[in-house]
């Protein structure tokens, strides 16, 4: 008798579990459709009443600094990218290691490589003096990236603001989610797909490498071992990047106009003058799946600028903290 009762009970439990498992997912999707996308809470007018001069102050400081040291513009654009690809655009990249977590600055793609922290701290200091506890470090990064590109002759795009700053950082995610310069095309496409970007958007965003520099250590395997490097270009690169030593020697990512945000990056690729292995992966001499995109940007600078601007808006919307989430850090390098 007890055995029969136990069996009946088991059957009832099983029916319960099966029906609950089919109801719960649809209930979750139903509720999820009512939860607004956090980026929809950002707005271009967020600081108009709270700190009316905020965006103007950022623009003035960044423009002055970038015109004084043009590479800084490249470094600030990259800082925003490396922020957004790791737990969203929340200024986690600016947090230094502390007793409770190891920050992202010592992750492989960032250490001895990311630049521009000081100018962000300076802008933050000015903003804290003007409007204490109002402007987030994540917003400063997003606006500084845009203003840097504009200062170097690139496109302008609307930056919606109102992001909050994280109270944590994620070293492991920085190591796993930021693309390595040794990836092949599939790896690149996958890395961007993971963040919601199409392969074509990845090509547009890679146009960032029309400004800035890279270290010898990262290009040595390419210039000494790969066949798709234009011969004169290879020879000139070898002079600045010997087989041994000189690991930190710099070469411009765009050999033709390194200080201007134009479409020369794509034109270079057509002639096997991509500097990073990953750059040249985008164009494979007519046989690659994204060659047509590279060609279209090489031929049409306006199309590149438009697509780049749209992709940057999308990047800036990656998982922001809004409302009561996160905090406005007083110092960008540490939590309050």
Residues annotated within the binding site for substrate are: 179
As given in the structure block, the two tokens for residue 240 are 């600045």
211 lies in the binding site for ligand HEM (CB under 6 A): yes
User: 3-state DSSP call for residue 26?
Assistant: helix
CB atoms closer than 10 angstroms to residue 225: 9
Can 30 be counted among the known catalytic residues? no
Tell me the site size for ligand HEM, rule CB under 6 A.
25
Instruction: Tell me the C-alpha distance between 333 and 105, whole Å.
Output: 10
Segment contacting ligand HEM by CB under 6 A, of 128-136, 166-174, 211-219, 286-294: 211-219
Long-range contacts formed by 126-130: CB under 8 A, 24+ apart? 126/57, 126/61, 127/51, 127/54, 127/57, 127/58, 128/330, 130/51, 130/53, 130/54, 130/57
Q: Does 218 bind ligand HEM (CB under 6 A)?
A: yes
- Candidates 20-28, 54-62, 159-167, 210-218: pick the segment binding ligand HEM (CB under 6 A): 210-218
The verdict on 106 binding ligand HEM (CB under 6 A) reads no
Per CB under 6 A, 208 contacts ligand HEM: yes
**214 lies in the site for ligand HEM, by CB under 6 A:** yes
Query: Is 101 strand, coil or helix?
Result: coil
The β-bridge partners of 334 are 331
Q: How far is the CB of 180 from ligand HEM (least distance, A)?
A: 6
In angstroms, the Cα distances linking 135 to 142, 181, 327 are 12, 34, 10
CA atoms within 13 A on the CB side of 121: 11
Contact between 179 and ligand HEM per CB under 6 A: yes
238: contact with ligand HEM by CB under 6 A? no
Using the structure block, give the residue that is written with the tokens 């496409």. 189
Nearest Cα neighbor of 66 from 176, 172, 164, 143 is 143
Q: Which stretch binds ligand HEM (CB under 6 A): 47-55, 72-80, 124-132, 228-236?
A: 72-80
Q: How far is the CB of 277 from ligand HEM (least distance, A)?
A: 8
Piece in contact with ligand HEM (CB under 6 A), picked from 50-58, 91-99, 205-213, 234-242: 205-213
Q: Which residue is nearest to ligand HEM (CB)?
A: 212
**Catalytic-labelled residue, pool 30, 80, 82, 277:** 82
Residues tagged active-site = 82
> Would you tell me which residues interact with ligand HEM (CB under 6 A)?
71, 74-75, 77-78, 81, 113, 115, 179, 181, 188, 202, 205-206, 208-209, 211-215, 218, 253, 276, 278
């Amino acid at each position: 008798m007890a055995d029969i009762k136990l069996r009946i009970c088991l059957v009832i439990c099983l029916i319960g579990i099966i029906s609950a498992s089919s109801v719960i997912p649809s209930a979750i999707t139903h509720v999820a459709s009512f939860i607004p996308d956090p980026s929809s809470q950002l707005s271009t007018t967020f600081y108009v009443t709270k700190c009316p001069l905020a965006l103007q102050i950022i623009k003035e400081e960044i423009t002055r600094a970038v015109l004084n040291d043009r590479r800084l513009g490249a470094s600030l654009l990259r800082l925003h990218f490396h922020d957004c690809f790791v737990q969203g655009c929340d200024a986690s990249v600016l947090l230094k290691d502390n007793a409770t977590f190891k920050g992202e600055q010592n992750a492989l793609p960032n250490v001895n490589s990311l630049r521009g922290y000081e100018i962000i701290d300076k802008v933050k200091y000015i903003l804290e003096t003007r409007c204490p506890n109002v402007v987030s470090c994540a917003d400063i990064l997003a606006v500084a990236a845009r203003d840097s590109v504009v200062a170097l002759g690139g496109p302008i795009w609307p930056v919606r603001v109102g992001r909050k700053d994280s109270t944590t950082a994620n070293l492991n995610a920085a190591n796993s989610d930021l693309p390595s310069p040794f990836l092949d095309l599939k790896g690149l496409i996958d890395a961007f797909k993971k963040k919601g970007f199409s392969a074509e958007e990845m090509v547009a965003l890679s146009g960032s490498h029309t400004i800035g520099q890279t270290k010898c250590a990262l290009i040595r395997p390419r210039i000494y071992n790969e066949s798709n490097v234009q011969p004169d270009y290879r020879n000139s690169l070898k002079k600045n990047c010997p087989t041994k030593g000189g690991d930190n020697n710099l070469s411009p990512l765009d050999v033709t106009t390194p200080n201007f945000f134009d479409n020369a990056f794509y034109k270079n690729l057509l002639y096997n003058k991509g500097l990073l292995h990953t750059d040249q992966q985008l164009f494979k001499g007519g046989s690659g799946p994204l060659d047509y995109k590279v060609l279209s940007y090489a031929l049409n600078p306006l199309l590149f600028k438009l697509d780049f601007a749209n992709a940057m808006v999308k990047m800036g919307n990656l998982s922001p903290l809004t409302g009561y989430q996160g905090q406005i850090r007083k110092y960008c390098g540490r939590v309050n």
